[in-house]
Amino acid sequence: MKVSIQRIDATLPLPSYQTSGSAAFDFVTRETTVIQPKSMGLVPGNVVVKVPEGYALLVLPRSSLPRKKGLICPHSLGLIDHDYHGPKDEIFVQVQNVTDLPVTVERGERIAQGLFVKIDRAEWQEVASHGAETRGGFGSTG
């Protein structure tokens, strides 16, 4: 799949897949960012991506982010739509510092990854009932 991408800082590398088996590519942070204790911040991902029509781009934290940095992504993932690629639509990673000390994310560091997923749009067909029995709420099957 060919994807148009624009770097904000061309001295940094393009996002890349780290192994031949990687499902997602790593974003490289554009600038050093300090996240204060118990606070949220935005880390610039250095790129504007034109997501191909029929796809969405998920922005996911790298699995080592909480353990190595004490950062989590409070919304678990970010969603980049097909039409989010204007000149100021740089991808940012929202992070929350869960530690008691400031956390520094260095320029060029990899803290998030991107995954293209095929999507389809629903056409709603409203019904009065689905004809099934209620199964229960959260965790109802065990």
134, part of any domain: no
Average model confidence (pLDDT) across the chain: 94
101, part of any domain: yes
Alpha-carbon distance of 116 to 53, in angstroms, equals 11
Q: Which domain holds residue 83?
A: 4-118
71, part of any domain: yes
26, part of any domain: yes
Residue 142 has pLDDT above 70, yes or no: no
70, part of any domain: yes
pLDDT digits (tens, 9 = 90+) for 57-111: 999 999 999 999 999 999 889 999 999 999 999 999 999 999 999 999 999 999 9
Q: What phi and psi, each to the nearest 5 degrees, are found at residue 13?
A: -70, 160
Amino acid (1-letter code) at residue 84 = Y
Poorest-confidence range of 6-10, 119-123, 128-132? 128-132
Residue 60 near residue 66 (C-beta atoms within 8 A): no
Number of domains making up the chain: 1
pLDDT digits (tens, 9 = 90+) for 17-27: 999 999 999 99
Residue 134 has pLDDT above 90, yes or no: no
142, part of any domain: no
Buried/exposed code over 12-33 (b: 16+ C-beta within 10 A; e: otherwise): beebeeeeeeeebbbbbbbeeb
